[in-house]
């Protein structure tokens, strides 16, 4: 929100009409919770009643064992009391490194200027 308001100030905007975000699937942010928070946080600002568009970015992993890069296998072990997902390589079942899908990016902002 701060970044959008700062950009609006730079352009002397009277109103923010639309904000488009890309949220990676591996941020583990609930999209409905983001929408709810957006509505609450924008109240009584020039962002109030603006349209929020959210695109989900694809998760990409890289396996250090076999060199695979792409989609992943997701494990959620019920023996843990807290959700601790493990991402595994679909080729060799090795543990992987996340290389995409953790982003939360402002893709575009539509403003009403004087």
* Domains of the chain, each with CATH number or no CATH: 2-113 (3.30.2320.80)
Greater confidence, 114 or 107? 107
Segment 59-81 shows an average pLDDT of 79
* pLDDT tier, 83 (very low <50, low <70, confident <90, very high otherwise): low
**10 Cβ contact list (under 8 Å, min separation 6):** none
Q: Tokens standing for 54? A: 């959210």
| CA 17 – CA 46 distance, rounded (Å) | 9
pLDDT digits (tens, 9 = 90+) for 95-111: 889 999 999 999 999 99
């Amino acid at each position: 929100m701060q970044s959008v308001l700062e950009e609006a100030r730079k352009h002397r905007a009277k109103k923010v009409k639309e904000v488009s975000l890309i949220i990676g699937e591996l941020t583990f942010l609930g999209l409905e919770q983001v929408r709810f928070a957006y509505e609450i946080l924008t109240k009584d600002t020039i962002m109030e009643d603006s349209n929020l568009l959210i695109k989900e970015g694809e998760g990409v992993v890289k396996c250090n064992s076999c060199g695979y890069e792409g989609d992943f296998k997701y494990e959620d072990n019920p023996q843990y009391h807290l959700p601790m997902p493990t991402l595994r390589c679909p080729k060799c079942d090795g543990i992987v490194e996340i290389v995409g899908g953790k982003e939360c990016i402002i893709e575009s902002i539509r403003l009403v200027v004087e």
